[in-house]
Structure 1
Amino acid sequence: MEICADLPAVVLELGVAVGDAVDAGQVVAVLESMKLEIPIETPASGTVTAVHVAVGETVDDGQVLVELGE
């Protein structure tokens, strides 16, 4: 499962690393757009298999932030 950015933004925080177990609703990243902080939550439980962004990086709408496996 891919967790993607909903809008162009800057990555403020990453709350997960590869191998972390996450629960549905857990915040995996915080983005900033137009001075607003937007928490990005996982829609399902799983294990983080990849993190595709770094803090300070600018992301585009639809860009994959984190991938989850079962």
Structure 2
Amino acid sequence: DLAICDGQVLRNHPRQSYREQVEASRLILSQLVFSLQRIKPRGTIVILLHKLDSWDNLELLYTFSKFAQI
């Protein structure tokens, strides 16, 4: 079983000003919710993360390391 989360917000995609800072996080979290709901035991999730050394991505990886093999 395989789930892929690789959708990204395009830089030239028009967004409301109040969504500028949170749109990317909302997108990846939505994809993770759908993937975790559909993945079977011992399945694989592939996530495309830009700026792997950013705090948000490190926190996400740490959270996943608590219950999954990274």
TM-score range, shorter chain: under 0.3
With normalisation by structure 1, the TM-score equals 0.25
Please report the TM-score for the alignment, with normalisation by the length of structure 2. Answer: 0.25
Greater strand share, structure number: 1
The structure with more radius of gyration: 2
